[in-house]
Amino acid sequence: MKWIKHDTDANQDAKLQNVLLDYGLEGYGLYWYCIELIAGKVSEDNITFELEHDARVIARNTGCTSQKVEEMMRYFVNIGLFEVSNNTITCLKLAKRLDKSMTSNPQMREIIGKLKSHDKVMIKSDKVMQEENRLEENRLDKNIKTLMSDYSDDAKKVLSEMNSILGSKYKHSTKSHMQSIQARLNEGHKVDDLISVVKSKLEEWGSDPKMAQYLRPQTLFQAGKFNGYLMAANTQPKQSVFNPSQQVYGDTEL
């Protein structure tokens, strides 16, 4: 396909609103970049709606890290923007955006016609669609509340204190943040252990813009590195108090 329909109010979609809240324009841009990649491969010989590029290629082309791309792709799958099967990302919902006017190829037009005939959503009234959007927003809110119930008060306390120390705005609704924290607590570590690592790495990395970007839950509480960070925090000499207001954290790292 050479082009797809893109609604001017697409950013108001409940799921994309969550993307913007958790990852900002970096996440929003990555989503539409992937949609372009998937749609660009759709033809009469390929209607799988698969994303052929891996995280490394996408990271290279977008100026992001492959780890961040993988994190955001998992997020897209978790909230239902994409699907995953056998380690392959797909966007079957893209079929709803296809229109016969997008191609002059007779075979492709026939395929689109068949897809539309099986897509009941496309023939529903605007009122019904608005109601479905409202229900979808409610479902997402419920999912977030359910997600939060999976984490202990100590895990929530760690992230709150981390935000206070760093002057950051990491969200309790972001699954990857809370999972990293809860996993370390489940191993028997205390809240003070996790906070010690935050303070220690802030002193070590806070004045280095290149390293400051790693002052985030996924890095500080990473399974393979946390014990080493904690050991260093417990053995390093006390230093002067750092003023967190001096450090700037980008929205893309929230």
Domain boundaries, the chain: 10-128, 147-253
C-alpha–C-alpha distance, residues 178 and 151, integer Å: 7
Task: Tell me the C-alpha to C-alpha distance, in Å, between residue 196 and each of 32, 184, 205, 216.
Answer: 39, 13, 14, 14
- Confidence label for 125 from pLDDT (cuts 50, 70 and 90): very low
Say what angle helices 66-78 and 55-62 make with each other, to 10 degrees: 110
What was the pLDDT predicted at 185?
93
- Does position 123 have pLDDT exceeding 50, yes or no? no
Closest to 163 (Cα-Cα) out of 113, 217, 209, 210:
217
Left, alpha or beta for 105 (phi > 0: left; psi -120 to 50: alpha)? Answer: beta
- Does position 101 have pLDDT exceeding 80, yes or no? no
C-alpha–C-alpha distance, residues 23 and 29, integer Å: 10
Q: Other CB atoms closer than 10 Å to residue 181's CB: what's the count?
A: 28
Can you tell me which residue has the tokens 């099986």? 118
C-alpha–C-alpha distance, residues 230 and 196, integer Å: 7
What was the pLDDT predicted at 118?
42
Fold entry, domain 10-128 = Arc Repressor Mutant, subunit A (1.10.10)
Is the distance from CB of 94 to CB of 49 less than 8 angstroms? yes
**More confident position, 165 or 87:** 165
Question: Which one-letter DSSP state was computed for residue 210?
Answer: H
Is the distance from CB of 134 to CB of 14 less than 8 angstroms? no
Is the overall model pTM greater than 0.85, yes or no?
Answer: no
pLDDT digits 0-9 by tens, 49-70: 788 888 888 999 999 998 999 9
**More confident position, 47 or 189:** 189
